[in-house]
Copies of this chain bind each other. A is one copy, B any other.
């Protein structure tokens, strides 16, 4: 089963991403707190929840058919619940950045990052509802005809979320006015690469499984 080894790599890069993200936000930045008077601590809830709360869990949900032991029914329930938790945490993460904008009087939703991010998030919500309505209770036949679109759409949405994360890191690097070859900017670059490779290996895990 070739998809097994790539799911291990996906987990590896996912965990590296979480560690680098925490080092960045807790050591180099102000920490993470939603109910803070320091707007920078409020902002940091956004990258933390959008990666660990949303993208990482969505990746786990996508891989659940290859990583969760048990029946197909069990895997399907894990897939649906993980997505649900991811969407809830994603909503909190998005609220955090709007709260930050309010606190420091910044304009909302003007950058490429925000356009990709909000577009992707809305489509993930729709895809989840689509899954719940048509895939979950459907007959074997109707599921089989919808599955190619559900899978292709889900893989595309994961990549779109990764693009949102990377453009977000670029935006933050620019706003922080980090210098070239400064230690923090190297950390952010490695974080970006790790997030990208997490997405790649989740996707490759699904892709290879279709040939198994």
Give A residues with C-beta under 8 Å from B: 2, 107, 110-113, 115-116, 119, 147-149, 151-153, 155-156, 159-160, 162-163, 166-167, 169-171, 173-175, 180-181, 185, 188-189, 192-193, 196, 199-200, 203-204, 207-208, 210-211
Contacts and interface: CB of A to CB of B under 8 A. Distances in A.
A192 B112 contact: yes
Contact of A203 (B155, B180, B192, B208): B155
A150 B28 CA distance: 40
A62 to B, nearest CB: 13
A111 B148 CA distance: 37
Chain A facing B: main interface SS: helix
A204 B112 contact: no
Contacts of A196: 116, 160, 163
Nearest to A159: B159
Contacts of A207: 148, 151-152, 155, 207
A166 B189 CA distance: 15
Contacts of A185: 110-111
13 contacts: A111-B180, A112-B173, A119-B193, A148-B208, A151-B207, A156-B203, A159-B162, A160-B196, A162-B163, A163-B166, A170-B170, A170-B171, A210-B210
A107 B148 contact: no
A112 B166 CA distance: 8
Given A112-B189, A115-B189, A152-B207, 9 more contacts: A107-B180, A112-B170, A112-B173, A148-B207, A162-B163, A167-B167, A170-B170, A170-B174, A207-B207
Contacts of A170: 111-113, 167, 170-171, 174
Nearest to A192: B112
Given A115-B193, A192-B116, A200 B160 contact: yes
